[in-house]
Structure formats: structure tokens, C-alpha cells
Structure 1
Amino acid sequence: MTAIETKQLKKFYGAVQVVQGIDLVVEKGEVFGFLGRNGAGKSTFINMLTGIIQPSSGTYSLLGVMGPNDQVKKRIGVMPDYSTFYGSLTAIDHLKFLSALSGKPIGRHGCLEVLRLVGLADHAQIKTSKYSFGMKKKLGIAQAIIHDPELIFLDEPTSGLDAESAIHIHNLIHDLQKRGKTIFMTSHNLDEVEKICTRIAIMKDGEVIKIGTMDELRSFYRSTLTVKFKHSPIPEAFQMTLNEWLHSAGTDLEIKESYVTITLQHEKKIAEIIRAFNQYKIDVYRVEVDEPSLEEIFLDE
């Protein structure tokens, strides 16, 4: 089942086109990362999907239902980057109120369980006027999942959180995925996206310029591989022959007593080098491949 599908979705503000004809499909059960620099159009795109603003043209569907649709809104959860709460209400008060608005009122026990999931159980009875930015971020996630939605939009879910709290939220996202939920998230923490997202889209100037798994993005942006082989000593009788062969296999060759570092054009060359080492009775202990990180891919745009 498709969780999100857009066809030529566009948004204009006057003569300025903020979102330019996006075609996107997110399958049910994915943790989908949506990346782009500030001003790329990410928030506008999400606001159209969640019914906050209307598209200028194009169509979209959520959970198989064409939007905008008031009924499907009850099946989605949304956490904006900056959640605003009533300072005089406690966390439990907020969740009771917001769950009732969704049409699925949740009692005290259910609210406490959700607060436990996000790491706020010990602060359930504290008024949100006393909350730190990080605590409000956690409560924002709680209000997005309190009504057990099928599709969850998380805008920067861990910004402002300490490392321990961020890991806690990562684990929660994994648990939600295991329960069959679909998560569509933005983040400026590229390491976070690389670790937890099944697929990633990169947006620039209102367009999705590339989409795929981490391996697919690496393959697209990678022109060469830098590979380091740790090995047993090269027998003196074979040193000259092996040196000549390695120079023909790649570039930027560096040979040391127990390491060979080489730049290759194709991944298959790694297997060829291992076979060559074995032919000369050289044991290969470790192979390290220097691949582009998501940050390098993103900054290359």
C-alpha cells in the first residue's frame, strides 16, 4: 500500500514557485527522510500534504485517499518543527485534549504510556510553561502519535535534544516502524537520517533532485573508491610483479609493509585485488572502503 503519492504537486506564492512539480511515492512502513537546505521548499511541501495550505496545482493522496480529506487527517500525526502548547496545561492535559480532537479520546493511562515512550513520564503533571525546548520537542512527538496514526510526519524530531534523548527518539521511530507505521521526517542531522531512514529524498530549489536508498545515493554520487587493504607481508620475490599489476589496477597507489591503499573506478576491482593477493600467497586481513557519507552527498549539491 502506498502511504504518500504526489503527482506534479506545485505551489506558487504570487509569481514565485516554491514547489516545482514533485512526483513522489512513499510506501507503507518506510522511514522516509526528506532533506534540503533552508528555503528549499520542504515545509511548504509538508504543509500541502497535511492540509495546512492548498496546492496551486497537482494532486496527492495519503494512505490511498485523495487529498485534501478530513477523514484521512484522523489517520495521520504531525509534529511541526516548533510545537506551541498551552502554558497552563500539563502534558497529560494536552494529550487528553488533542486525542479528543482527533476523535480517539485517550484516558490517563494511555496518555502516560505515550509520555513514557517519548521519555516524559516523570514530567507528566508539570505545566508546559515550565518545559525546556527539548521537553516541548518530546511532547510534540507525543501529540503526533497519541491517536495511534498510520502515517506520521516529524519535522526535525531530535533538534535541541541531548544525545541520550535523541537515541531514545531513534529507538521510538524504529519501534513505530516495526508496528507498521510510516514515518516521513525531515532532519538537519544527516548522520541521523543515514542511520534510521529506509529511503531519502534530497530537495533543492523546490525540486526533488535525487531519491533512493543510502546505497543508491552513494552509487549515484560516487565516481571512485579509495580502498585500503591490510595484509600479511608480501614475499620479496613477488614485490615487483605485484607492484606493476596494482599500478595497472588503479591510481594513487601507496604500498607499505602491511597496507596497500589504492583508488579504484569500480567495486569489482576489489575482488580482483583480493584474488591477486591470494595468488601470491598473501593473506588479506581487512578491507576498508572510503565511501561518501550522506553529509558529503548533501553538501555536493
Structure 2
Amino acid sequence: MNVIEATGITKMYGPKTVVDNVNLKVKKGEIYGFLGRNGAGKSTFINIMTGIIQPTSGSFKLLDEPNLNNVKHRIGVLPDYSTFYDSLTAIDHLKYYAKLSGYKASTEHCESVLKRVGLLEHAHKKAGKFSFGMKKKLGIAQAIIHNPELIFLDEPTSGIDAESALHIQQLIVNLQKEGKTVFMTSHNLHEVEKLCTRIAIMKNGRIWNEGTLEELKSRYMSSIHVEIKHSPIPQKEGLFTFLKTAGRDITITETKTSLVVDTEENIPPIIRAFTGHEIDIYRVNVHEPSLEEIFLNDNLDASAP
């Protein structure tokens, strides 16, 4: 089941197109990462999906429902900014936001949610005394207080310390294990690489690339660098002759061999050639492009004339 289906979503402000004909589907149970530079249109797209602004054109369904008003109570949102009432405590906020979604939250339930985001010790502190990071955690708490099925998180770990970020990342994984779907933006590429089942890269209002991390990597692997650590080679000539048919830029030392291949399908025959020469293999390292390399490469492509 697709919990998000967006078709031709476009948003214009005067002559400026901020979101440009975006088509997107997110399946139930995914952690879907939405990447892009500042100004790429990510937050605008989330604001459209959550009813904060209206698209100029296009349509979408959430939880298989075209009328957002019918499913708002099943959706949680951490916006790109969170504004709280200075005079209300963390628990007061959660009870208030839960009530807006038609959900009556007990004090015990509020405390349970605050514990999940790492704010339990500040449950009765007024939000006016909260730091930026604490407000971010409270924003995540209000997004999940009513037990939503679909959760939009806009930069959930920005502005918080490393330990808290790891805590929130684990929370996101746990939400997925509970059967919830998470749609998140992040500037932390390592975080997206670590958490997300699928990733979209947005540039200039358009989705420039999309897929699983493995799919994205495969599109950028025009050459693969393979490094093999092995036992001493008794006779290099025969092995070297074979390696020349499988790859290029070959370097062989007594206990290490490196070469470049055009496809990963060449790797298994290389391993078999080593074992066929009675050479023990201790380690095989394959360099793949990181999400950072893919993201930077896409940015260069997007800015090209």
C-alpha cells in the first residue's frame, strides 16, 4: 500500500516555481529520505502534503485518501520550525496537541512519549525555558503523541547534540518497527544513509534522483575499485594474465592486490582465480560511492548549463 501518492505537484509564487511537477510514491512502513539544498523545495513539498499550503497544480493522496481533512488525525508533523507557548509545560503542550487530533492523552501517556524523545526530566518545565534542542525534541513528541500512522519529520536532528541525535535516530527506527511510515528531510547525509529505506534527491523544485541507496550507488558506479588482502602469491604470472582480462590498473604485491573493474559481476571470477591458485583470501574491500558523493555529483549535474 502506498501511504503517499503525489502526482504533478507544483507550487509557484508569482513567476517563481518552488516545487516543479513532483511525482512521488511512498510505501507503508518505509523511512523515506528527502534530500536537497536549502531552497530546493523540500519544506514546501511537506507543507503541501500536510495542508499548510495549497499546491498551484497537481494532486495527492495520503493513506489512500484524497481528502486530507479525513486523515489529519492519522498524521504527525514536525515542521521546519516549531513554535510553542512559553507559559505551557511540555506535558501541557502534548495534551493540547493530542486534543487537536481528537486524541485524549493521559499524563502517563505524555510522560511515556517524553521519555521516548529524551525529555522526561523536563516534563513539567515551561517551554519558555527550553533550549533550541529541547524544543526540537518537544516538536517530535507532539508529532507522535496521537499515535499517527504517517509521520513527517523536517530536519528531526538539526540543532541537537550528537547523543540526542543518536537517540532520535533510534526512535525513528523504532517507529518503523511499529509499522509506522516516516517521511523525513535531513542535511545529515550519514543519517539518511543509515536510516532510510529509499531516498529522493531534490534540486530546483524537481526530484533529480530517487531509489534505494543500492540503486543510487549502482547508477554512479561506472568503475569499481577492488582491493584484496591475501596470503603470499607463489606464482604471479598466471594470475596476472587472468586479472588483465577481468580489470585494469592492476597492482600486485606479496599480500595485496588492487584493480579496477567495470562491473561487480567481475568480482566473483577474480575471487575464484585466487582460490584456484591456492591463495588464501583474508579480506576484499570494494569502494562504492557514498551518499555524499552521489549528492554532490547530482548538485554538479543540476547546476550544469
Fold similarity call, TM over 0.5: yes
Give 1:28 deviation, angstroms.
Answer: 0.8
Partner SS state of residue 126, structure 1: coil
1:206: Cα distance to partner?
Answer: 0.8
2:214 corresponds in structure 1 to 215
Aligned residue number for residue 107 of structure 1? 106
Structure 2 runs not aligned, ≥5 long: 299-305
**Alignment of 1:249 onto 2:251:** no
Instruction: Pick which of 239-248 and 117-126 moved more.
Output: 239-248
Within a 5 Å distance, the mapping from 1:163-178 to structure 2 comes to 163-178=162-177
Per-residue Cα deviation, 1:249-276 (whole angstroms, up to 9, x for no partner): 2122221221111111010111111111
Q: Hey, what's the Cα distance between the residues in 2 that align with 1:145 and 1:196?
A: 18
What is the Cα deviation at residue 149 of structure 1? 0.6
252, 261, 266: which one aligns with 1:264: 261
Instruction: Indicate yes or no: 2:3 matched with 1:6.
Output: no
Alpha-carbon distance in structure 1 between the residues aligned to 2:70 and 2:265: 52
1:60 corresponds to which residue? 60
The CA deviation at 1:283 is: 1.1
Residue pair 2:229, 2:281 contacting (<8 A) in 1 also = yes
Contact (CA 8 Å) 2:7, 2:60: kept in 1 or not?
yes
Give unpaired runs (5+ residues) of structure 1: none
Spell out, residue by residue over 1:68-95, the C-alpha distance to the aligned partner (whole angstroms, 9 max, x if none): x222111101001221111111100110
Q: What percent identity do the matched residue pairs reach? A: 60
The superposition leaves residues 47-72 of structure 1 with CA deviations (integer Å, 9 ceiling, x where unpaired) of 110001101111100000004x2221
The answer as to 2:290 corresponding to 1:290 is no
Q: Secondary structure at the match of 2:34?
A: strand
Letter matched to residue 38 of structure 1 = N
Deviation (angstroms), 1:280? 1.1
2:71 is paired with a residue whose SS is helix
Structure 2 match to 1:85: 84
Which range moves more in the overlay, 242-251 or 122-131?
A: 242-251
* Number of residues of Structure 1 aligned to a counterpart in Structure 2: 298
Displacement of 1:244 in angstroms is 2.9
Aligned counterpart, 2:40: 40
Which residues in structure 2 correspond to 1:114-263 (within 5 Å)? 114-235=113-234, 238-263=235-260
Q: Does 1:31 align with 2:31?
A: yes
Q: Which residue of 1 aligns with 2:301?
A: none
SS in 1 for 2:184: strand
The one-letter code of the counterpart of 2:292 is E
Given that 2:43 and 2:80 are in contact with CA atoms closer than 8 Å, whether structure 1 keeps it comes out as no
Paired with 1:39 and 1:4, the residues of 2 have a C-alpha distance of: 22
Q: Counterpart of 2:302?
A: none
CA distance in 2, matches of 1:101, 1:240: 75
What TM-score do the two structures reach when normalised by structure 1?
Answer: 0.97
Q: Deviations over 1:138-159 (max 9, x none)?
A: 0000000001111000001011
- Aligned-partner residue type, residue 36 of structure 2: G
Q: How far 1:245 sits from its partner (Å)?
A: 2.5
One-letter identity of the residue aligned with 1:63: L
TM-score, length of structure 2 as denominator length: 0.96
